[in-house]
A and B are shown apart, each in its own frame.
Chain A
């Protein structure tokens, strides 16, 4: 499939989802769908670093929280339009991600994972101590506990749930395009060489530090945008929404969906929200979802290392091959004259 065909297919699928889901889903499932769409972003951020560079970053939930915090702060302190708030939150998250990653660049990948997990822990401590802005004065923007917190306003065109679903879908599609342009372009090729090995990348002039930081910045920008969309969905939030351990879940679902392709991020992000919602509707404790993710991850690593997206890709290729074989039956040998 050509690049143009891939883009058209993705745009068509997004359009169908944008109009079919709000028409078909009830309030619970529409809310779940919004969460699922938004959760694609931290999964994409994690998958980008692992799939393209082989780096395991375990701070995605912390970065998501940074995006939420900055979005709330910008929203209450300024009169910026919503898209600027979202981009600002992404930019702030990218800056934090780069600052955290800078000292870790010379460390091993295991140490990078540990450092980022610690950073997620530090972010949670900050959120717990300082809270999230809720319309109050000062840098931290906190109101007195006696006053009801302000809700982050959504954009006018997305004040309804259906409207916000479409808005979030459009934002995620835009982030997908940004990611796709990077992966298909010059940075993507440089990342592929870095993944192959540092000497390989350096031998053709790729600055490993610069391109690794670029990937981290992009990953955190996308995740920060997710944080802004998330907090606009729920109105206000707290530190309990950003537990560091959830970053491990993000990594697990990235592997489960497929860390090497954008469809894999979509599958992973949706699975992370839809499976707990399904369990909830069946009256099963939501924490069972962690067991489901664990089993799914195990099955994925054993049978489909490229995740569900990779498995689906292989299946589609097999079907195409079968289709070609059916359409063109093998030639029979000519019958020899008696």
Chain B
């Protein structure tokens, strides 16, 4: 379980997150909101790339804010990025191996490199240079890198951006497989509501750095305040 308590982030005069309090209990949780709502900032707080001015973040009883980003990764916090961060010079397998080398414990629940690649459908490309992959494949490779070993908390930052319907269907299956193959809590940020609806049991909605809704996915996505935040006040009756 992940508890975010009263987290506030300030960049000079801008406050992208103001007293955000969220509890992520389900295995796959969505985090949605219009552009500039503070979703990625919250992910950066969780992964340690942004230090909050105030607040606390605890996951399974561990205080994440006390750890440096690389220590959080070794603890089991993994993430993907909005603009994928795959190393083109390394092979597909090496891109995953590097995560396993630095974070994995060798317990029986650990996901091997081959399993991670198989899960995202890249097993046959294992020895190819990552630079030869398509954009979609690179996104999937980043997911494989996030789930190899023993992840505890996986943060997926807009993995569905730019994907076709077929590719999104494949992504839904992959995210659901993460739930069965690992014990990680998955937090998914995406603008594709079909993807969020198909994968997430609960959803939290941010708008202008504040939580405006939190709860079961269907209930939250039907909320008038959420629709107003996404579509604008005039478009919602």
In the bound complex, CA of A197 to CA of B86 (Å): 10
Whether the Cβ atoms of B87 and A203 lie closer than 8 Å is: no
Interface of A is mostly: helix
B199 at the interface (CB under 8 A from A): no
Q: Taking the nearest CB of chain A, how far is it from the CB of B77, in angstroms? A: 8
> Which of B70, B90, B145: most chain A Cβ within 10 A?
B70
Q: Is the CB of A206 within 8 A of B81?
A: no
Using a CB-CB cutoff of 8 Å, which residues 168-215 of chain A contact chain B?
Answer: 186, 189-190, 192-193, 195-197, 199-208
Residue of B nearest to A199 (CB): B49
Q: Which residues of A lie under 8 Å from residue B145 when comparing CB positions? A: 204
Contact stretch, chosen from B23-31, B94-102, B169-177, B205-213: B94-102
B47 lies within 8 A of chain A by Cβ: yes
Measured between beta carbons, the chain B residues less than 8 angstroms from A196 are 85-87
Q: Determine how close the nearest CB of chain B comes to the CB of A210; give it in whole angstroms.
A: 9
Whole-angstrom distance from the CB of B91 to the nearest CB of chain A? Answer: 10
Q: A204 and B87 in contact (CB under 8 A), knowing A189-B94, A189-B98?
A: no
Bound CA–CA A202/B50 (angstroms): 13
On whether the beta carbons of A192 and B103 are closer than 8 Å, the reply is no
B102, A206: Cβ atoms under 8 Å? yes
- Which A residues are in CB contact (< 8 Å) with B90? 189, 192
- The listed residue (B70, B87, B97, B98) touching A207 by CB distance below 8 A is B70
- Residues of B within 8 Å of A195, CB to CB, are 87
The interface residues of chain B lying within 8 Å CB-to-CB of A197 are: 85
Return the CB mask of B70-87 against A: 1 if under 8 Å, else 0.
110110001101000111
- Interface size class of chain A, counting residues whose CB lies under 8 Å from the partner chain: 10 to 19
Residues of A217-258 contacting chain B, CB below 8 A = none
CB-CB nearest in chain A for B94:
A189
- Nearest-neighbour CB distance to chain B for A200, whole angstroms, equals 4
Is there an interface contact between B94 and A205, defined as CB atoms closer than 8 Å? no
**Which of chain A's residues have a CB closer than 8 A to the CB of B71?**
205
| Nearest-Cβ distance from residue B147 to partner chain A, whole angstroms | 12
B38 close to A (CB within 8 Å):
no
Alpha-carbon distance between A142 and B48 when the two chains are bound, in angstroms: 53
Q: Given A189-B94, A189-B98, A190-B102, are A202 and B70 neighbors across the interface (CB < 8 Å)?
A: yes
Supposing A203-B79, A205-B74, A205-B103 touch, asked if A193 and B69 sit within 8 A by C-beta, the answer is: no
Which residue of B69, B98, B101 contacts A202 across the interface (Cβ within 8 Å)? B69
CB-CB under 8 A from B102, the residues of chain A are: 190, 204-206
Contact at B98–A206, with CB atoms within 8 Å? Answer: yes
Q: How far is the CA of A199 from the CA of B155 in the complex (A)?
A: 14
Interface membership of B89, Cβ < 8 A = yes
Q: Are B98 and A208 in contact (CB under 8 A)?
A: no
What chain A residues lie within 8 Å of B70 (beta carbons)?
201-202, 205-208
User: Is there an interface contact between B97 and A200, defined as CB atoms closer than 8 Å?
Assistant: no
Query: Which residues of chain B have C-beta atoms less than 8 A from A190's C-beta?
Result: 98, 101-102
* Docked complex Cα distance between A16 and B233 (Å): 78
Q: Shortest CB–CB separation between residue B87 and chain A, in angstroms?
A: 5
8 A Cβ contacts from B17-76 to A: 47-49, 68-71, 73-74
Are B81 and A192 interface neighbours, CB within 8 A? no
B74 and A203 contact, CB distance less than 8 A = no
A189 touches B97 (CB 8 A): yes
Given contacts A199-B49, A203-B69, A205-B73, contact A193 B101 (CB under 8 A): no
**Chain A residues, Cβ within 8 Å of B87:** 192-193, 195-196, 200
Q: List 10 A-B contacts (CB under 8 A).
A: A189-B94, A190-B101, A192-B90, A195-B87, A196-B87, A202-B48, A202-B73, A203-B85, A204-B98, A206-B98
Further contacts, 18 of them, CB under 8 A, given A186-B101, A205-B74: A189-B97, A189-B101, A190-B98, A190-B102, A192-B90, A196-B87, A200-B81, A202-B49, A202-B68, A202-B69, A202-B73, A203-B69, A203-B81, A204-B73, A204-B102, A206-B70, A206-B73, A207-B70
